[in-house]
Structure formats: structure tokens, C-alpha cells
Amino acid sequence: MSSAVEQLKQHLGEIHDLSCASRVLGWDQQTYMPPGGARQRAQHRATLSRLIHSKFTSEETLRLLDAAEPETQSLPEEHDDRCLVRIVRRDYERSRKLPSDFVAAWTRDASLSNQVWREARRANDFPAFRPHLESMMDYARRAADYYGYEDHPYDALLDGYEPGLKTADVRRVLDVLHPAQVDLARAISQKEAPRADFLYREYPEGAQGEFGLAVAAEFGYDLQRGRLDVAPHPFETDFGRDDVRITTRYDCHYLPEAIFAIFHETGHALYEQNISPSLSRTPLDSGCSNVFHESQSRLWENLVSRSRSFWQRYFPRLRQLFPAALADVTADEFYRAVNRVQPSLIRVEADEVTYNLHIMLRFELEMGLIENQVGVADLPEVWAVKMREYLGVTPPDDRDGVMQDTHWSTGSLGYFPTYALGNVMGAQIYETALQADPGIAAQINQGRFDGLRGWLGENLYQHGRKFLPGELAVRVTGRPLDPQPYIAYLQHKFGELYGL
């Protein structure tokens, strides 16, 4: 007869399979599904979400957990089985607070809302999206009430993306980042901007994808277990470590958009493809949290792919693909152009110095929404005011203003702060990796990434969700989340670039 732990794993494996099926439907909706299929797809995913939630929060799960717990208590704290029982117990206690019908309704309406967002953004039609966004905000507030909280309803939502994180923790980090990044941006604004005209020339879509995917493969993205597609908003999704997919979006007259999105999503994908096989078909078979996931996407997108040594290596190859557009451009000019600091309308196109200001704006608006201090009807106007306040730019329309991100279309409040904290954690992790292996920087100039990827695989990737984020931060870097390495990185890099 199998042990209680094995019985629990079998039970959780079936739930994992259902979750993967739902994610396949979500990936298809964003990539290949015809628009007319939105309503039926919403029902498909609602049914699956109800089944998943009901099965996970069932008395059977509780019985199996209770039986498995004694079997694991004598195991080392880092043993897979002991970690599994501990994390699943936490997930179970949180998930059972939401009624299954509520989860199904939210999934159904979020799927419809996302489809409306796609069409409304294309048409610059916020009024068409507004009732769906109001519904999503209502779902988020109700979820916070179901979960419960001690200090602030936003805490309950943050916990879904970053277990243990509190609103006060976010404020503490952003309060350190804000003055440092504003001061840096202000100093840079007094300097001459680098040449960047060539970024807006003709760049055929196919060659962009060819370059981005080839580099992703050199990073270590296994194309036998992954693929690249097009979506309105780039994302990574996975159905287990052996099927990890990424997407991008193309602009034939702006080269950085697609290639850096590919590098960003590859960072997510490397994490998922390198989780230990021993965690497959369990709730531990994914990245630890949003902050750790974003630490990897931002690490590979920025600390690696926007570095001088990277473009010394890869610019000649890029110029071979686009000889006409880049004939009069040097590697150093290209490096400076893709690192230029210029307040922008679009978050995903923002430079490293101003990116977190986009996040601070969204965090402030989310706080207003969850507290009912900002109404959905007022968002376009408030958004424009905050963009002028934070970045000194004014959106010309709602398409590139309040409707530019996909997250709110599914009620994902609490997600945005993890981008800024991911920047911080990425710099902290990279600093630790360089201290452990100083040769990593030189390897990048040689087009070799096995040293960095190997270190990340051993110290971070393989563990999946075995540890809570606070625990993993100390395990990987020796200390809790610390904004100072990120600030030091920005000041050093952009100080050199702009002669500060």
C-alpha cells in the first residue's frame, strides 16, 4: 500500500493536470482563438476553475494532508516531501476561504473581460471596457474580504502573488527607491540624449523573431520544450517544466519592443524549465513567487541583455540581419540607445531608471481602487494626472494610457508591485552570483551563459516553490530583500553612460 505522502501526491497531481489544461486554454485565447470563441472559452475555464478549486479545498485534501504530515516531520526541513506538505497546507488554508462558485464566476467573467479589453484597447474605447473593469474591481474587493486581513485589504491580494508580503513592506521599499530614482532621472535629464533614430527604421518582423529566439536559445531556453508566439501583451506560461511557452509583440518600426520582450519572457521560462523534476505534478512545480519570477525576467532582460558586454557580442549578428537599418550604427551607439533614459507612456517600453515610477503610479491607483477612493469612471483622468506627476508625460489616448496593461482586465490587483520588487531582487541575486563567480560578466561577452544559468539553477531554479519568498531570499542571497544593490547598479551604470 502506498504511503500517505504518495496518496497526497497522486491527488495533487490530478489537480495539477486540470490546472495545466486551464492554462492551455488561456494561452490559446491569447494567441490563436478566434474572437468569436470568447464566451464559450470563458465557460470552459469557469468549469475547470470550479473543478480545480472544489477538488483542492475538499475534505479529501484535508484528510490526505493530515495523514501525510506525521510522515514528514522527521525529514530534513528542505526535503521535498516536508516542503510539499507545509506549502500545500498554507495554500489549502488560503484557498478554502473562497467559495468555488465565486472562483468559477470570477474566472468566467475575467476571461470575458480580457477579451473585451483586447478589442477595446485596439479601438481606444474605454467606455466599452469600463463595466467589465468595474466588475473585476468588485471581484478583487470581495476576494480580499473572503481572505481576511489585519491591516489593509490590499494585504490579502498581495499575498496571492507574494506570500507573506504586506502593503507596508511595499511602501518601505518604494519609499527608498522613489527619491533615488527621481534624483537620478533628474540628473540625466540635464545631459545630452544619445542618438536613437535608428531604432525606428524598418525591421521586418520575421528577422526580429529569428534574432530574439536564437539568443533565447543561447541563454538556455530549450526549444524542444518551448515555443514563441505573438500576443497582445507578452507573457510566459507553462504546463509543467517540459512545455514552457513565451510570447512577444512586434513593431516593424521600433526594434527594441519585441526583442527585449523575448529576453524578458525567456527569463521567466528559464526558471520554469529548470525546476527539479522531482517536483513535477505538485504545487511546488512553479517559481517561488511573482517577485522571484520578475527578478529573473528583469535580470535577463536588463542586467544581461542591456549590458555593454552583451551588445559587444551580439550587435554584429544583429547588423547582419538588418544591414540597411544598422549600416551607420556602432555597437556602442546601439548599447547607448537601448539604455537611453526618456520618460515614456508605456510601462513595458520604459527604461530602467523610470520603470519603477510606472509601478509606483499603478500601486497608488490600486490602493485608491481597493479603498474606493478612486472610481473606475475616473481612472482615465486620474491616470493622466499621475503620469504628468510621476513622469512628466501625458497620454494622448486611453489605449496608451489606462488600458495599456492586461492585468486589471482579470482583476489582478496586487500584481504590479512585484515588478518593482522583482527589479530589486534581480539586482540582489545578480550581485550574489557575481560574488560567487566573478567570471560571469566576461562569459557574457563571449556569448556564454552557462555560468550564470548554472548558478541560478543550483541556487534558485531547482527549488520551485519549496520555500516561502522571505526564506528563499535569505537562502539565495544571505539577506532579506534589500533595495541598495539595485540603486547602486543604476547609479553606476547610468552614471557611466551619462557622465554623471
104-117 tens-digit pLDDT = 999 999 999 999 99
Q: Does the pLDDT of residue 229 top 60, yes or no?
A: yes
Element (H, E) at 236: strand 236-238
Q: How far apart are CA 67 and CA 72, in angstroms?
A: 10
Question: What's the pLDDT tens digit per position in 424-437?
Answer: 999 999 999 999 99
The percentage of the chain sitting over the pLDDT mark of 70, rounded to a whole number, equals 100
Q: Does the pLDDT of residue 1 top 60, yes or no?
A: no
Whole-number pLDDT of residue 48: 97
Q: How far apart are CA 156 and CA 94, in angstroms?
A: 10
Amino acid identity of residue 129, one-letter, is: F
Mean pLDDT, to the nearest integer, of 191-203?
97
3-state helix, strand, coil in the chain (%, to 5): 70, 5, 30
Closest CA to 7 of 87, 81, 83: 81
Q: What is the mean pLDDT of the chain?
A: 96
Mean pLDDT, to the nearest integer, of 148-171?
96
pTM for this model (two decimals): 0.94
Q: How many CB atoms lie within 10 A of CB 50?
A: 19
Q: Does the pLDDT of residue 254 top 80, yes or no?
A: yes
Mean pLDDT, to the nearest integer, of 458-476?
98
Whole-number pLDDT of residue 348: 86
- Sheet of 244-248: strand order equals 226-230, 244-248, 236-238
Pick the CATH number of 167-498 from 2.60.120.10, 1.10.1370.30, 3.30.70.100, 1.10.287.3510: 1.10.1370.30
Active-site residue numbers?
265
Whole-number pLDDT of residue 59: 97
If one compares 233 and 377, the residue with the highest pLDDT of the two is: 377
Task: Output the CA angle 264-268-269, nearest 5 degrees.
Answer: 110
1-10, 13-22, 116-125: least confidently modelled range:
1-10
Q: Does the pLDDT of residue 189 top 80, yes or no?
A: yes
Largest CA distance in the chain: 73
Structural domain boundaries in the chain = 4-148, 167-498
Whole-number pLDDT of residue 2: 75
Per DSSP, the residues of 154-183 read HHHHHHHHSTT--HHHHHHHHHHHHHHHHH
Q: Exposure pattern of 431-445 as b/e (b: 16+ CB <10 Å)?
A: bbbeeeeeebbeebe
Q: How far apart are CA 263 and CA 269, in angstroms?
A: 10
Q: How far apart are CA 147 and CA 434, in angstroms?
A: 40
Whole-number pLDDT of residue 349: 87
Q: How far apart are CA 320 and CA 332, in angstroms?
A: 16
